[in-house]
Amino acid sequence: MKVLVIDDEPQIRHALKIGLERNGYDVQLAGTGEEGLDKMAVEMPELVVLDLAMPGIDGYEVCKQVRAWSSVPIIVLSVRDREEDKIKALDCGADDYIGKPFGVGELLARIRAVLRRTKQPEKTLGTPIFNEGDLEVDLDKRLVHKGGEQVHLTPKEYELLSLLLNNPNRVLTHRQLLTRVWGPEYAEDHHSLRVHIANLRNKIETDPARPTFIHTETRVGYRFISKNF
């Protein structure tokens, strides 16, 4: 598998090349955003590891430009570890975010999770897209069962669950969820989102106070955890 690393720090590029190649990845390197975009067009990588703070075109702009024509998975790896930076990167199109300093083991795990999500096979009509523990969700039929009993969700609760399920193990920001489910004019209505997430947890989680599926990413958004992807 071909991975493109875009980072202006030579030591980071060297460390990532060694760590990823030891685990079977074909690694290409770029030291600037401009060089990274040029290599994207030529090399067509299957995953991008991207720094944010770079001279010239920064990581945010690289994300935006890549997302204009490609759905390649992007994992941001940056010293900028504030919630605002994470939110901005995810809103620009990144699939995941890891702060520096980092462990290669964690990066490899995030890569595997992102690739499982983006390469999951198409589901056939009538086949539950999710079946884990005692929770079963059939998105074709819009049916949800918990412990064999049908769960009745409101339209907004169902839309939220569907959006989270279609992005397993990926952080979705508050803005992304609100914009997709309620519309752009509700992008800042965090209270409504918290209420609906709480209601959804009460219906699908065994212990809503310690959720198994819908995890909170503090001040950033939510992540649906699935071991099947």
Q: Is the pLDDT assigned to residue 49 strictly greater than 70? A: yes
Each residue's pLDDT tens digit, 73-125: 999 998 877 888 889 999 898 999 998 888 889 999 999 988 887 765 444 44
User: Final residue of a domain: which of 79, 96, 118?
Assistant: 118
- 127-161: per-residue pLDDT in tens? 557 889 899 998 878 899 999 999 999 989 999 99
pTM over 0.75? The answer is: no
Look at residue 11 in the predicted model and tell me its pLDDT.
93
| 75 neighbors 49 (Cβ within 8 angstroms) | yes
Local confidence band at 48 (pLDDT 50, 70, 90 cut-offs):
very high
Which of 93, 118, 143 is the endpoint of a domain?
118
Residue 56 resides in a domain = yes
Which ranges in the chain belong to alpha helices (H)? 10-21, 33-43, 59-67, 83-91, 104-118, 155-165, 174-181, 190-204
Looking at the structure, do residues 86 and 177 belong to the same domain, yes or no? Answer: no
The parent domain of residue 206 ranges over 130-224
- CA angle 194/113/151 to nearest 5° reads 45
Same-domain check for residues 96 and 158: no
Please check whether residue 124 lies inside any domain of the structure: no
